């Protein structure tokens, strides 16, 4: 009796000691690190836009597939209400800047963006948009200029080779320039496959690709853009997958914002549903892949949209815009996949940049 009690005490002590030793070992990071990142920006997409567009829609609500939600504070360095230049610059270089800035800080100083840092590590990079590829949001990822309006100058930054894939509109900034240069010829010399074709998007295999489908912005979804955004995203993913180290792809639903500026709810809604369809495809891919982090957010809300009571039909809502511009309300952040946990909570938009850096092992 006495002996067996002694044995029990000894084994209990051994177990506890074992646990203590196991705990003393250096802890592994609590989160996994992704090999690929797909960062989707719904320009001008706040909670009212998502709620309103998805309200009577039968498609799978991609936003409800994300396990992690956060909120991003969007003010710029000179305005509580940001524009898309400052709003995307912050994701790329991690510094608040003035409205209109592209990849420069509030003093106009250039800083390397995520794409430059990732190219140094051998990663692939790309942008897919429904605006011109030289528009403020995509530009902030590969260019550094004082003003978003300098789209001729922004286009020249693609020659620096920090963006492997760019799909969207903007033919005139490459072929019909003030300085008469043919940038597509110059990009070919740098090893890019260049395509100018304003008909339907077709698959193409190329590690470096500039694919232009419109003279400036792409046409509206409601005017027959079809499932361009989803297809272009798939083409970008297929081609970026050739980069064995990994890749970072930015996909923008550019015109959600344009519908907001026009206070045109149906325009905004069709653009957001198109974005939702693309999100579903990206989430399906990420679920199969297992190494892909998907993050979705907005640069700001557009239109000061609210959904108010409809006294004539109380099961639905009335659309109420309070502005033709942007608003300063926080925007949602949705995350899925390895490292997604880092995106929960409330933080400044600068933090999104630093969370990516942490997950991508960038000093
Ligand atoms: Mg934009
Ligand atoms: Zn806007």
Give me ligand 2 centre to Cα 300, in Å.
Answer: 8
Distance (Å) from CA 106 to ligand 2 centroid: 20
Name the residue with higher pLDDT: 14 or 293.
Answer: 293
Name the H helices within the chain: 2-24, 47-54, 84-93, 114-120, 136-142, 151-156, 172-175, 183-189, 228-240, 256-261, 265-289, 350-359
What confidence category does residue 49 fall into, taking pLDDT thresholds of 50, 70 and 90? very high
Q: How far apart are CA 56 and CA 94, in angstroms?
A: 37
* Å from CA of 213 to ligand 1 middle: 17
Residue 322: active-site member:
no
Residue 18 has pLDDT above 60, yes or no: no
Give the whole-angstrom CA distance, residue 85 versus residue 104. 10
Which residues lie near ion ligand 1 (Cβ < 5 Å)? 43, 84, 137, 254
pLDDT for position 56? 87
What would the two tokens of residue 81 be? 């209400």
pLDDT tens-digit profile of 231-267? 999 999 999 999 999 999 999 999 999 999 999 999 9
pLDDT for the residue 57: 80
Are 65 and 336 spatial neighbours (Cβ–Cβ below 8 Å)?
yes
**Closest ligand, as measured to the CA of 326:** 2
Mean pLDDT, residues 66-94: 98
Q: pTM of the prediction? A: 0.92
- CATH number among 3.40.50.1370, 3.40.720.10, 3.40.605.10, 3.30.2010.30, domain 33-359: 3.40.720.10
Average pLDDT over all residues of the chain: 94
Q: How confident is the model at residue 363 (pLDDT cuts 50, 70, 90)?
A: confident
∠ CA 88-43-40, rounded to 5°:
75
148 or 4, greater pLDDT = 148
**Under 8 Å CB-to-CB from 350, ≥6 apart: which residues?**
90, 94, 95, 96
Overall average pLDDT of the 3-32 stretch: 63
Ligand 2: distance of its center to the CA of 358 in Å? 29
pLDDT score, position 151: 97
Mean pLDDT in residue range 103-118: 98
Q: Catalytic residue, from 76, 84, 270, 327: name it.
A: 84
pLDDT score of 349: 98
Quick check: 25 pLDDT over 80?
no
């Amino acid at each position: 009796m006495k002996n067996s009690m002694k044995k029990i005490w000894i084994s209990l002590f051994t177990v506890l000691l074992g646990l203590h030793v196991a705990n003393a070992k250096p802890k592994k990071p609590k989160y996994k690190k992704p090999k690929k990142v797909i960062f989707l920006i719904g320009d001008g997409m706040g909670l009212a836009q998502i709620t309103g567009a998805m309200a009577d829609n039968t498609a799978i609500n991609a936003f409800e597939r994300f396990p992690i939600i956060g909120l991003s504070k969007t003010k710029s360095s000179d305005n509580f209400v940001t524009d898309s230049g400052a709003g995307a610059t912050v994701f790329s270089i991690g510094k608040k800047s003035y409205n209109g800035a592209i990849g420069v800080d509030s003093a106009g100083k250039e800083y390397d963006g995520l794409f430059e840092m990732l190219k140094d590590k051998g990663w692939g990079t790309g942008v897919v948009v429904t605006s011109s590829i030289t528009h403020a949001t995509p530009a902030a990822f590969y260019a550094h200029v004082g003003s978003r309006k300098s789209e001729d100058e922004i286009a020249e930054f693609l020659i620096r080779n920090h963006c492997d894939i760019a799909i969207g509109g903007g033919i005139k900034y490459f072929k019909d320039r003030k300085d008469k240069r043919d940038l597509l010829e110059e990009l070919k010399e740098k090893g890019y496959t260049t395509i100018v074709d304003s008909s339907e998007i077709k698959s193409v295999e190329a590690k470096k690709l500039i694919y232009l489908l419109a003279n400036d912005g792409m046409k509206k979804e409601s005017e027959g853009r079809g499932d361009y955004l989803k297809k272009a995203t798939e083409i970008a993913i297929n081609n970026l997958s050739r980069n064995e180290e990994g890749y970072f792809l930015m996909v923008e639903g550019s015109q959600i914002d344009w519908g907001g500026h026009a206070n045109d709810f149906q325009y905004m809604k069709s653009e957001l549903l198109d974005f939702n369809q693309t999100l579903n495809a990206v989430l399906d891919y990420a679920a199969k892949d297992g190494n892909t982090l998907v993050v979705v957010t907005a640069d700001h809300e557009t239109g000061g949209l609210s959904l108010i009571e409809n006294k004539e039909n109380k099961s639905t809502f009335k659309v109420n815009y309070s502005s033709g511009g942007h608003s300063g309300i926080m925007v949602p952040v949705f995350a899925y996949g390895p490292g997604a946990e880092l995106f929960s909570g409330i933080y400044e938009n600068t933090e999104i940049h630093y969370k990516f850096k942490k997950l991508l092992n960038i000093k």
